[in-house]
Amino acid sequence: MSSKTQIDQLLKANVRIAAMWPFPCLEPSATYLDTFSGHEEAGLPPKIAGLIENWSKAEKRELFQSQGDIAERAHSELSDLAYSEGIFGFIAEVSVPCFNAYPDGTMSLSWGSYTSQLVLAETYEGLVIQAAALGEARYNEAKASVAALPQPSRQA
């Protein structure tokens, strides 16, 4: 898939790749740790969540809520574990705008309000596919909510 096709796929799905890093990485940047710590365990990709499933509450708190050296050590342990388990690729923060549904059956979206989720893929192309699927799923959820709204009565 060409770069242009990948960008077109992301635009069509209304998603942004807000940040992306190789995973596992040896020395995470402060920006990476900030992004990573902004997500709870439930928002992590299944392969990553599975690695920390048996961590204690204190270890998880260090990874998700700490800053500086403590967060770096926690992430280093996670990276070491991912490496030993053969989990490689790119981890990215994927952002999707919030969709607004209206009683007349229409929808709008705004990047003024959006949600983000971490995604892990072995390749960049896989990352694009997962990000687009996430955007399409959020769109379909909004579309279903429009269908569930009471429709205004039409007078002849």
pLDDT for residue 132 is more than 90: yes
The pLDDT assigned to 67 comes to: 66
pLDDT for residue 154 is more than 80: no
127 vs 26, residue with greater confidence: 127
Same domain for 74 and 33, yes or no, is: yes
Same domain for 80 and 99, yes or no, is: no
DSSP letters for 12-78:
HTT-EEEEEEEES-SS--HHHHHHHHTS-GGGS-HHHHHHHTT--HHHHHHHHH--HHHHHHHHHHH
DSSP letters for 91-125:
EEEEEEEEEEE-TTS-EEEEEEEEEEEEEEESSHH
Same domain for 41 and 78, yes or no, is: yes
Please state the rounded mean pLDDT for residues 138-148. Answer: 84
Which element (helix H / strand E) includes 142? Answer: helix 124-148
pLDDT for residue 16 is more than 90: yes
Residue located via tokens 């205004």 = 152
The pLDDT assigned to 125 comes to: 93
Same domain for 2 and 77, yes or no, is: no
Structural domain harbouring 30: 25-87
Same domain for 18 and 95, yes or no, is: yes
Share of the chain above pLDDT 90, in %: 19
For the whole model, what pTM was predicted? 0.74
Surface-to-core class of residue 26, CB atoms within 10 Å of its CB (0-12 exposed, 13-18 middle, 19+ buried): exposed
Please state the rounded mean pLDDT for residues 24-31. Answer: 70
* Amino acid letter, residue 112: G
Instruction: Give how far Cα 155 sits from Cα of 60, 147, 152, Å.
Output: 58, 20, 10
- Total domain count, the chain: 2
| Contact yes or no for 32/25 (Cβ under 8 A) | yes
Q: pLDDT tens-digit profile of 45-99?
A: 677 777 777 777 777 777 766 666 777 777 787 888 888 888 889 888 899 999 8
19 token code pair: 């940040």
The pLDDT assigned to 95 comes to: 92
Same domain for 74 and 40, yes or no, is: yes
The pLDDT assigned to 72 comes to: 76
Q: How far apart are CA 67 and CA 23, in angstroms?
A: 19
Q: How far apart are CA 139 and CA 141, in angstroms?
A: 5
In a domain, 67, yes or no: yes
Mean pLDDT (the chain) is: 81
